Chain A
Amino acid sequence: MSRQEILEKLRSLMARTGPGKTDWAKVSEADAIAALGIDSLAMLDFLYDIQQEFGIELDPRDLVSVTTVGQMVSFIGERKGA
């Protein structure tokens, strides 16, 4: 799965489950996740949806250093490749 494909899937996932006021189609890899209106509690749900969508297992503790959408794309890519 390419980076672009992962990003597209994340955008569509966010559009379905993320906070309603953000235009998710415009989200780029450079965006900070915290600036997208996803607080720590919403992040737990977001990670749950990522696991379901990509068929991977995530431990929130593994994601401490993930702060941008691009880093999330890399993290998912690594897990999918593993």
Chain B
Amino acid sequence: MYQLERVVVTGVGLATPIGFDEGTVAEHLFAGRSAIGRLRCLDASLYKSQSSAEVDAASFASAIAARGTRPGDRTSDLALIAAGKALEQARLLPATPGSPGEETCVLVGTGSGPSHALQESWQTFFTQGGKSLRPTTVPRCMLNAVSSAVSIQYGLKGTNYVIVSACSSSTIALGIAFRMIRSGDARRVLVVGSESMFTPALYASWDNLGVMSRNAEPSRACRPFDAQRDGFVLGEGAGALLLEERGAALERGATLRAEVLGFGESSDGTHITRPSVDGQALCMRNALRSARLEPDAVDFVNAHGTATKANDATEAEAIRKVFGARTEALPVNSSKSYFGHLLGAAGIVETIASILCLEHGRLHANLNLEEPDPVCNLRLTGLDRLEYPPRVCLKNSFGFGGSNSTLILARPSSSPS
């Protein structure tokens, strides 16, 4: 008989604009402190959108130095830092031959992969010609450079590859990992989401698309579900989660941080950038079916909540469609006003924020929610506490290309089945 395995989280790693350790991140989340400031790593005067959520340079440099390696591509380095933390917390290092760590698979979700290495190569090509390109341009710039770097650095010998689906990349990577373990095809999968698009060409591309906030006050720029919202704020960073088959995790005495109950996905099939209520609603329903839960079992929704006009209105309508009358009492928060929009890494970092909410028994607030948009008619969380500790979270990530993904997470249960 085909048996579905249970999937738990046994390791968490972060390298984000609001911190590189969970304690600092939790402190910021529950105190309502954002990392968003004025764009520093690029010449802000060249762009219409001048806010950003950048990783702290000193924390980044010391994390690289602690690893004993030299800075390479920024997306890969952020991935390596977060991955190392998750593996350490899961007590899977060193991944010596025959150890539980050795069989770990690596799935990386990223929208643009090693974008800094690519930028450097294109710049060399166009200014100095093809002969001046580094001989190692191909392995530096291939999209799966990020997942192979993680696999090589830590000696992980399960599979390694990259999942690319814009802003849903790392949530889909978590979902694929969940399915791999649930079906019995893998026991441990390290999922990493990593992104840094602060290169002049990529930042200008986003700037010209007109989806980033042009609010002159960085601290007020990212306003999910607020009537005055005018776009997202670009961020960079990485998150990593070690997913593990529950029995194997318990057998080796690992600490269970959360349980993944279900995963759903869908494709809008309508437009490359315009989101679809039907597509998003189908995705959430698929996740509930995968988790074998009814909508009323969900205690809160961690929304994709980008703070663009289109996303938040569409997502709110999709949530109402799925949850019906339950929507009135269903708390909803968005983590993007803290971390900025980490694009391909957003899903996993926000999943970690949601795990922290489950563990602390409280939800973080929606920052800058001063005048809730009547179009986004949801129970949006503020700094007030919930009347009950949340147990089940539904987490959305939606990407350009109409790629929708939803995870359902819960506080780990001690029940045997």
Contact = CB atoms under 8 A, between A and B. Distances in A.
Would you call the interface of chain A mostly helix, strand, loop, or mixed? helix
Interface string B348-373: 00000000000000000000000000
A53 interface: no
B253 interface: no
A17 interface: yes
B136 to A, nearest CB: 5
B133 to A, nearest CB: 9
A20 B69 contact: yes
Contacts of B139: 41
Contacts of B70: 17-20
For chain B, which range describes its interface: under 10, 10 to 19, 20 to 34, or 35 or more residues?
A: under 10
Interface string A16-42: 011111000000000000000000010
Interface stretch (A5-13, A44-52, A63-71, A72-80): A44-52
A47 B69 contact: no
Nearest to A44: B135
A41 to B, nearest CB: 6
A45 B68 contact: no
B134 interface: yes
A9 to B, nearest CB: 18
Interface in B121-169: 134-136, 139
Interface of B: 67-70, 134-136, 139
Given A21-B69, A47-B135, 17 more contacts: A18-B70, A19-B69, A19-B70, A20-B68, A20-B69, A20-B70, A21-B68, A41-B136, A41-B139, A44-B134, A44-B135, A44-B136, A45-B134, A45-B136, A48-B134, A48-B135, A48-B136
Interface of A: 17-21, 41, 44-45, 47-48
